[in-house]
Structure 1
Amino acid sequence: MYQYQKIKMNNNPISNFEATIKKEYANIAGIAIRKDGHLIYETYFDGYTKDDVLHIASVTKSIISILIGMAIDKGYINNVEQKVLEFFPDYTVKRGEKTIQKVTIKDLLTMTAPYKYKSEPYTKVYSSDDWVKATLDLLGGRGHIGEFKYSTVGAHILSGVLTNATGQSVKDFAIESLFKPLDITAPQHTFLRNKEEHFAFLKDQYVTGWVVDPSGVNTAGWGLTLTPRDMAKIGQLYLNSGVWGNSQILSSKWIEDSTKEKSRFGELSYGYMWWIVDDDCYAALGDGGNVIFNNPNKKMVVTIASRFIPRAKDRIELIRKHILPLFG
């Protein structure tokens, strides 16, 4: 199909597009595009191949959102209004702390939970022995529930919720519920023992696995590696309203709820860990330029996997300006 598209669309537009990627978006490692349910284009740069996984950064959050929906579908979680602390019965709330007791799963999914920090304390959380507890200790404070506050460390609480609700590791639940049905090769657990290994995972060209904290809980805000093809399958699952093959593996209601505005950050709309980027398009976005972009009207999924660089160029602009006109 990929070769057919290259011939059909003439070499010039494709060559020009790929030259633009190399010149203006040099950290892109791979692009995969699906339309009408089929993989119509994929290409790789800088020595990467279709078999190489990349760290998808905050796209991991959207995968966690999917797993929360699946846990609700399977009855492990009642609904998004369930209080977070119900899943941590051994957690001791500090005297005077009232807000944390009101925080729900929905508040975490929509980034409207309050925290006791101005800037994210990555080092404090990721150098602790228990990242879930360290993050719970930061939850609440004087902030108000309902105000948008994007939090990567805060997302880790959802991994704790999944672990305690299902009785499985997040990875094992993901294998059973998502990866195996979509024929995605499951990543191995990756332990980061010090700051050097942490930064290496973020910056090295080739990394693999799914990061786990010292307690064996997989990260929710970052730390998962997938291929562009894997990402495209996940996007396709959403376009299919949760159906894969002959099986409904995720409820269509969850997909609809996830991709409708639940909170706002300035002019940007946010669902359940998915960004609503247009009236009819939505995306999972990760630092460095990692994207799962869905255009339901065109029945199209665009996925981009990238090596990390600070202040990467806007991938949504790339998709709108170059990819949709060429492939849509």
Structure 2
Amino acid sequence: MANLNRKKILAGLMGLVGLYIFNCSPSQRHILSESGYDWPSNERDYWPTQSWKTGTLVDHNIDPSKMDQAHQFAENDPLTRAVLVVKDGYLVYENYFGNGSAGMSSNLWSVTKSFTSAVVGIVYDDNHINSTNQLMSELMPEYPEFGAITLEHVLTHTTGLSWAEEGPLWVEWILSDDWVASALTRDQIHKPGTHWKYSSGNTHFLSAFVTYRSGQTMGQLAKSRLFEPMGFEFELQDPPLQYNSWNQYIEPLYQSWHQDPKGNECASFGLFLTAKDMAKFGYLYLNRGRWENSQLISENWIIDSSGEKETNIYGRYSYGYQWYITLVDSHPAFLASGFGGQIIGVVPSLDLVVVLKYEAEQPEHPITGTVHDDMRLFELIVKSVND
């Protein structure tokens, strides 16, 4: 433990939130109206399973001069690696910066959490559970320590368990043999469902939950039910990585999903994908779970998980099932967000998906763990759309 790089540990744990790190109590400041998002039609003239078709900015109602401002903003940031914009199902902007490339597979960090939510949705759709309000202690009887915590509480970061994305307890967790058991040793400091507290440890409960309820790991389910139907090039790690140093964990290999010491995929971080496959995932959600002629995830799960479960997070966000919800230029959007500025942004009313990738090895900001404003770039892109 002593030889772990403190800077990388701190940068990693701060950035796993992807935005800011502090506690929030539930409030009633809603972003979405009662009708929710203004979803586009999911009747498409093609699907990007094999590859994305390209289109021009003008043909897809994007102001080239405003998009150029976004391009300049991205280019001026030395940490930008990839920016993709999908409008009306067509790839209208694609650019790579620094050592970024179309084939670069890199750690999505906490964007992984939104993929975890999708796999939980498959378990739900397959009737392996009756309700998200079921007790985790009933769903996973080998862990009675869950007590009154439900699946809903885990999905929304409201378990009430103590957690810190930093310091010796984080290191103790990441180096433990059983990440679920280790996270469950934390004190119950709030009644479940009453307090929002970001926790990578709590999200990791979902990986063991998926295996316990379905008999398959998250990686196995994701590969067969999501990644292969959508045309991802994806390999499962075998055997599990050994977490005896932080460097060994963050070293990118190929499109894969890293595992904990028990062979469960890391539910909170550790999924490695290209920017184009990230865009496909956002497009799946934009189309409410439909891909070609198949409903890969139920529309109900997509709408539910991208809806507001907790409000007034970090002052400008709400939270769903491992997704952030916000307003961008008056348009409701939901985001998968990870350390260093990794983003999959979905704006249903504009039929828009935005992918941002950044270099995550960077000096940490004392609050956010980042040295650039990734949300500003996202906003510039959204504002370039003529609505």
TM-score by length of 2: 0.75
Gap change, CA 1:92 and 1:15, over 3 Å in 2:
closer
Question: By how many angstroms is 1:161 displaced?
Answer: 0.2
Distance of 2:144 and 2:192 partners within structure 1: 20
SS in 2 for 1:212: coil
Please, which of 137, 141, 144 is the counterpart of residue 85 of structure 1? Answer: 137
Distance of 2:57 and 2:102 partners within structure 1: 17
Bigger RCO (CA 8 Å, 6+ sep):
2
Which residue pairs with 1:257 in the alignment? 304
SS in 1 for 2:376: helix
Contact 1:242 1:255 in 2 (8 A): yes
TM-superposition CA deviations, 1:189-218 (whole Å, max 9, x none): 27443443x23543x5x5433211111011
Which residue pairs with 2:148 in the alignment? 102
Which residue pairs with 1:326 in the alignment? 384
Distance of 2:281 and 2:128 partners within structure 1: 22
Please, which of 175, 182, 185 is the counterpart of residue 230 of structure 2? Answer: 182
Question: By how many angstroms is 1:247 displaced?
Answer: 0.8
Q: Does 1:159 align with 2:207?
A: yes
Distance of 1:45 and 1:119 partners within structure 2: 30
Greater shift after overlay, 148-157 or 114-123? 114-123
Contact 1:55 1:207 in 2 (8 A): no
Question: By how many angstroms is 1:90 displaced?
Answer: 2.5
Contact 2:286 2:351 in 1 (8 A): yes
Gap change, CA 1:201 and 1:27, over 3 Å in 2:
farther
Contact 1:110 1:272 in 2 (8 A): yes
Which residue pairs with 1:21 in the alignment? 74
Distance of 1:314 and 1:258 partners within structure 2: 26
Question: By how many angstroms is 1:3 displaced?
Answer: 7.5
Residue 230 of structure 1 aligns with an amino acid whose one-letter code is D
Q: Does 1:173 align with 2:221?
A: yes
Distance of 1:153 and 1:117 partners within structure 2: 8
TM-score by length of 1: 0.88
Question: By how many angstroms is 1:15 displaced?
Answer: 5.7
TM-superposition CA deviations, 1:243-272 (whole Å, max 9, x none): 100111111111111121111324221111
Gap change, CA 1:298 and 1:117, over 3 Å in 2:
closer
Q: Does 1:235 align with 2:282?
A: yes
Which residue pairs with 2:182 in the alignment? 134
How many residue pairs get aligned? The number is 316
Contact 1:6 1:14 in 2 (8 A): no
Which residue pairs with 2:258 in the alignment? 211
Distance of 2:304 and 2:63 partners within structure 1: 40
SS in 1 for 2:109: coil
SS in 2 for 1:269: strand
* Root mean square deviation of aligned Cα: 2.5
Question: By how many angstroms is 1:26 displaced?
Answer: 1.9
Distance of 1:2 and 1:26 partners within structure 2: 26
Distance of 1:6 and 1:211 partners within structure 2: 40
TM-superposition CA deviations, 1:163-195 (whole Å, max 9, x none): 111111110011111111111122432744344
SS in 2 for 1:303: strand
Question: By how many angstroms is 1:302 displaced?
Answer: 0.3
SS in 2 for 1:133: helix
Contact 2:137 2:144 in 1 (8 A): no
Which residue pairs with 1:97 in the alignment? none
Q: Does 1:112 align with 2:158?
A: yes
Extract unaligned runs of 5+ from structure 1.
94-99
Distance of 2:138 and 2:253 partners within structure 1: 35
Residue 318 of structure 2 aligns with an amino acid whose one-letter code is S
TM-superposition CA deviations, 1:279-313 (whole Å, max 9, x none): 62111111100001111111000011222133142
Which residue pairs with 2:355 in the alignment? 303
Gap change, CA 1:30 and 1:6, over 3 Å in 2:
farther
TM-superposition CA deviations, 1:124-162 (whole Å, max 9, x none): 111111112212233x52322120000012111000100
Question: By how many angstroms is 1:319 displaced?
Answer: 1.4
Greater shift after overlay, 162-171 or 25-34? 25-34
Which residue pairs with 1:49 in the alignment? 101
Extract unaligned runs of 5+ from structure 2.
1-52, 365-369
Contact 2:108 2:272 in 1 (8 A): yes
Distance of 1:17 and 1:274 partners within structure 2: 24
Distance of 2:358 and 2:314 partners within structure 1: 26
Contact 1:34 1:41 in 2 (8 A): yes
Distance of 1:53 and 1:294 partners within structure 2: 21
Greater shift after overlay, 109-118 or 29-38? 109-118
SS in 1 for 2:381: helix
Which residue pairs with 1:62 in the alignment? 114
Q: Compare the two structures and name the one with the higher helix fraction.
A: 1
State the identity as a percent.
Answer: 30
Which residue pairs with 1:244 in the alignment? 291
Contact 1:29 1:306 in 2 (8 A): yes
Distance of 2:59 and 2:118 partners within structure 1: 37
